[in-house]
Amino acid sequence: MKYTTAIFDLDGTLLNTLGDLREAVNAAITPRGLPPVTETQVRERVGNGIRNLITRCMPDGTPDSEIDACLAAFRTYYNDHLMDYTHPYPGVTELLQALKDAGMRIAVLSNKYDPAAKALIRHFFPRLVDLTLGERPDVPRKPDPASCKEILSDLGAAPESTVYLGDSAVDIHTAQNAGIDAIGVTWGFRSRETLVEAGAVQLADRPYELSTLLLGPDIDALQKAFTSHGFAFTYFATKEQATAYLAQECAGKTVGFGGSITLDQMGAYEALSQTAQVHWHWKGEAPCVNAQIFVTSANGLSATGEVVNIDGASNRVAASLYGAKTCFMVCGLNKLAPTVQDAIERARNVAAPRNAQRLKVQTPCAVDGKCHDCRSPARICRSLVVHMGPPLSFERYEIVLIGEILGY
C-alpha cells in the first residue's frame, strides 16, 4: 500500500453542504434587503473561507463592518442548522470505513471554520476520522500548507506516504504546496476542467474508485469473479506492461480496434503495429470485419465479473459480440465498480457524458455531465450491452486490467 495517510477536504468532497450554506447565507443577507442567493451561486463562491463566501454574496464596496455583521449572522444561523440539508455523498462513508479497516490514518482539512468542521465530522463520520482541522484564528487558510503540515506532524505521517483528496483547485494547490500527492474528485463543487487546470494528475469520478486506487485491487477476488463467468483475466500494474503483453499475444495476427480512449492513451495501436496487422478506423483506416483478434475497452467492469459497454454507432459493441475468435477488453482501474448496477451507472453517467463532451454533440449530458435518458437526435448512448460471459462464438475472451487511471 503506497499511502498510509489520507487527508480529505470536507465541503464538496465528503459532504454536500450546499443546501445549509445557502440557507445560512440567505439568513444573513436577506434581512439587509439583498436578494437571496441560489445553490448554484453558493457552489461558485464557496471554498476560500466563510468570510470570502459572504463577501462574494454582497455588493462590491460593502464596508468591512457590514461584512462582519453578516458573517456573525451567518455563524449564528449555521451553527443551529449545520445538518438540515447536509449529507455525505453516496459511497463516502463506505470509502472511509474501507480505508480505516485497512489501517490508514484519516484526516480532514477544511476552510470551513473549525468548530463547524469538527461538529460535522463527529456527526456524520464518528470514529472514522483521526484528526479534523478547520479554519482557525492566526492560521493561514488553504492553499497555504501550514495546516496540512500540522496534520503530518500530529499523525506522524511522511509526505511521500500521504495523499490529499479534494474537489477544488485550492485542494490541489494545498497538496502541491505541502509536497504531497493529490487526487481530485469530480463529484463536488468544481468541474473536472478546473481540477486539471490546477494540475491534478489523477481524478476519481466515484468514491469506490478511491478505495481501489488507494488500497489496490483484490486481484485474487477479481480473478475468481471473472473466470467464474468464463472470461480469462490478467492484471498489469502499468500500461506499458499491458501494451507489451498485447503486442506479444497479437503478433502475426490481424487485429481490429474498437474506438477507445484507453487504447489511445496506451499507445497500443503504434505498439501492436510493430508485431501485427492492425486496423483502426480512428487512424483513418477501414474497419476490419474479419480480424482474428478484436481489442477494445469497456465503460464499466463489475467486481462481480460482468462487463458493461455503451455505444452509439454500435460497431464497437457489435464486434465485441461476434466476429473475431479472440477479444481483449483492456481497462484501467477507474472502470472497476463494485456491482453490475454500479458499472451501468458509471457507463451512463461518467463515460457517456465525457464522450459526448469529447465529440461536442448537443445533448443534455454534454452540458451537465449527467445522463437524462434523453431523446436527442445527437444521443450517442444507443446500445447498452452487459456481458455476463463470453459470447459462444469466441474461443478466447480476456479482461486485461491495468492499475492506472485510463480512458473514460
Which residues have C-beta within 8 Å of that of residue 391, sequence separation ≥ 6? Answer: 321, 322, 397
Residue-wise DSSP of 165-218: EESSHHHHHHHHHHT-EEEEESSSSS-HHHHHHHT-SEEESSHHHHHHHHH---
List 9, 181, 205, 342, catalytic entry: 9
Judge contact between 176 and 168, C-beta under 8 A. no
Nearest partner of 252 among 270, 275, 278, judged by Cα:
275
What would the grid cell of residue 30 be?
436577506
To the nearest 10 degrees (0 to 180), the angle between helices 92-101 and 207-215 is: 20
Nearest partner of 168 among 182, 148, 187, 184, judged by Cα:
184
Phi then psi dihedrals of residue 293, to 5 deg: -130, 135
Helix H or strand E encompassing 150: helix 146-155
Residue-wise DSSP of 326-350: EEEEEEEGGGEESSHHHHHHHIIII
What would the grid cell of residue 137 be?
484564528
Judge contact between 352 and 380, C-beta under 8 A. yes
Q: Has 9 been annotated as catalytic? A: yes
Judge contact between 169 and 190, C-beta under 8 A. yes
Q: 330, exposed or middle or buried, with CB in 10 Å at 0-12, 13-18, 19+?
A: buried
Active site positions, annotated = 9
